[in-house]
């Protein structure tokens, strides 16, 4: 049985959720927004990681981008088309703006098309000339931009010769 203080309707500029009135839905917790009937609801769009006050998706998880569904006009998350693309802003191969770790954006000089090409072995972040900027754990970037293993017992190291053991 509902108590006398259980709200089913709230005053103007307040929103109901589970019998209480809230000035803003985000006071309930992250990912709460306002429904069309002015109730607070949990926003649930597949692959969405950030919402606005009306539960419209603002940001998708890695490998997806926001697009407005032409029928419902609700923002949904669609996968990036380019293989190994971490962040894109559209459905085309050329819409990739960042590749997953271990890959870099390669633009074919003849066709201008983009792809996510692999970095050298044990490299997490590299430039188009394959110079490594960040190595996988257990490796360090040497003075030639390549990844060399840390000396045991180090699991994390840095410096041109891996001489700085950080873990």
Which tens digit of pLDDT belongs to each residue from 117-147? 999 999 999 998 999 999 999 999 998 999 9
Burial letters 109-127, b for 16+ CB under 10 A, else e: eeeeebbbeebeebbbbbe
Which tens digit of pLDDT belongs to each residue from 15-61? 999 989 999 998 999 899 998 888 999 999 999 999 998 899 999 99
Q: Across all residues in the chain, what is the average pLDDT? A: 89
Model confidence, pTM:
0.75
* pLDDT confidence band for 4 (50 / 70 / 90): low
């Amino acid at each position: 049985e509902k108590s006398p203080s259980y709200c089913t309707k709230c005053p103007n500029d307040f929103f109901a959720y589970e019998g209480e009135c809230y000035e803003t839905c985000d006071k309930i917790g992250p990912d709460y927004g306002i429904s069309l009937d002015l109730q607070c609801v949990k926003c649930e769009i597949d692959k969405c990681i950030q919402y606005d006050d009306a539960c419209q998706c603002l940001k998708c998880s890695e490998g997806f981008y926001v697009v407005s569904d032409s029928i419902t006009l609700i923002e949904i998350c669609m996968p990036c088309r380019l293989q190994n693309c971490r962040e894109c802003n559209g459905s085309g191969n050329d819409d990739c703006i960042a590749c997953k770790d271990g890959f870099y954006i390669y633009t074919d000089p003849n066709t201008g098309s983009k792809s996510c090409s692999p970095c050298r072995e044990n490299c997490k972040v590299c430039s188009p000339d394959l110079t490594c900027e960040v190595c996988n754990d257990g490796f360090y970037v040497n003075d030639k931009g390549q990844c060399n293993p840390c000396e045991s017992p180090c699991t994390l190291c840095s410096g041109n010769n891996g001489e700085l053991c950080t873990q």
